[in-house]
Structure 1
Amino acid sequence: MADRLELPDATWQRVSPRLIVSEFVGAVISTAIFIAAVLTLTNVVWSGAIWGVAVVGVIAIIVFVLIPRRVRAIGYQLRDDDLLFRRGILFQRFVAVPYGRMQLVDINRGPLSRMLGLSELKFVTAAASTGVTIPGLREADADELRDKLVALAETRRAGL
């Protein structure tokens, strides 16, 4: 079994641990919606509502247990020519985004993210498959990273 891709001189930057809180809140809201849907459907179609709620509950517990590990698996690093991004536990994703190919660097902050002081940084390139979103960055870190990436993208494009 292959180990996680580790680069010899790689220093991965981690996202904020506050992202765990945000993910938990999202999971709780999703679980509540699914339980309401199960209760509604089972009362209309089937009288075994307890089994439907139990299945949703077991799935929710598995999701809750995995949230901290999923957040710790998110990382990025700035290399000489590109930004390398990783995420995932079972299905790992590694994306290298060349600085010269970045067309847009966008920061998003939802209501919960603003309360937690977090931002989401999104990079868009000409190829849709290389779009990368780094969630859970502290607001100041996201602003600084955006400015740095825009400057790097400008110098790389000028060199083309």
Structure 2
Amino acid sequence: MDSRPDPFDLPGVQWQPLSPRLTTIRELGLAVWLGIPAIAVGVAAYAFSLTWLMFVAAGLALIWLSQAILIPRRVRAFGYACRADDVAIRSGIWHRRMVVVPYGRMQTVSVTSGPLLRRFGLAAIGLQTASSGSDATIPGINRREAEHLRDRLTALGEARMLRL
């Protein structure tokens, strides 16, 4: 067993999860973009007796199913933590990613909410810095929590900028 510490787990940090309702939103999006086409191709293959098109439909259905199984795990793998000097965001199952954005480096904190997110009472927080590589998004949290987090991050960022 590897005794080195996990670089994606910060000791003593309480990770905040995304809303479980984000799973439903992502499943709906997957159904629209992949499920409906898979069914349509399957119906067309059956109607016109095209064997090769059945394979296409089966492939689409297999991709749809595999992604539908992974969506809940991806949502659970995401977490964010507001620490003393920065906000840490981690995501991913196979391709894991962690972004740590110091409060003093944040230039913009934005809250966005599309039609589905609004319908489910959720929003996304975007953190932009001067470096495009450290921009980060928290995609699905309660709308009130997003507004509170935006205000808190903005205040912490302004306070850190004044110290520099």
Pairwise same-fold verdict (TM > 0.5): yes
Matched, 1:65 2:69: yes
C-alpha displacement of 1:114: 0.5
In the alignment, the residues of structure 1 paired with residue 7 and residue 104 of structure 2 have an alpha-carbon distance, to the nearest angstrom, of 27
Partner of 1:109: 113
Partner of 1:158: 162
1:129 corresponds to which of 127, 130, 133? 133
Q: CA RMSD in A?
A: 2.2
Give the TM-score normalised by the residue count of structure 1: 0.90
In the alignment, the residues of structure 1 paired with residue 37 and residue 136 of structure 2 have an alpha-carbon distance, to the nearest angstrom, of 29
Matched, 1:50 2:54: yes
C-alpha displacement of 1:4: 6.8
Percent identity over paired residues: 41
In the alignment, the residues of structure 1 paired with residue 128 and residue 40 of structure 2 have an alpha-carbon distance, to the nearest angstrom, of 36
C-alpha displacement of 1:109: 0.6
Partner of 2:31: 28
Give the TM-score normalised by the residue count of structure 2: 0.88
Can you list the C-alpha shifts for 1:84-126, whole angstroms capped at 9, x where unaligned?
A: 0000000000000010010000111111111100001000000
In the alignment, the residues of structure 2 paired with residue 37 and residue 124 of structure 1 have an alpha-carbon distance, to the nearest angstrom, of 40
Partner of 2:9: 6
The answer on whether the counterparts of 2:38 and 2:58 sit within 8 Å (CA) in structure 1 is no
- Give structure 1 stretches of 5+ with no counterpart: none
C-alpha displacement of 1:77: 0.3
Can you list the C-alpha shifts for 1:35-82, whole angstroms capped at 9, x where unaligned?
A: 38967xx8xxx8611000000100110000001000000100011111
SS of the residue 1:80 aligns to = coil
- Give structure 2 stretches of 5+ with no counterpart: none
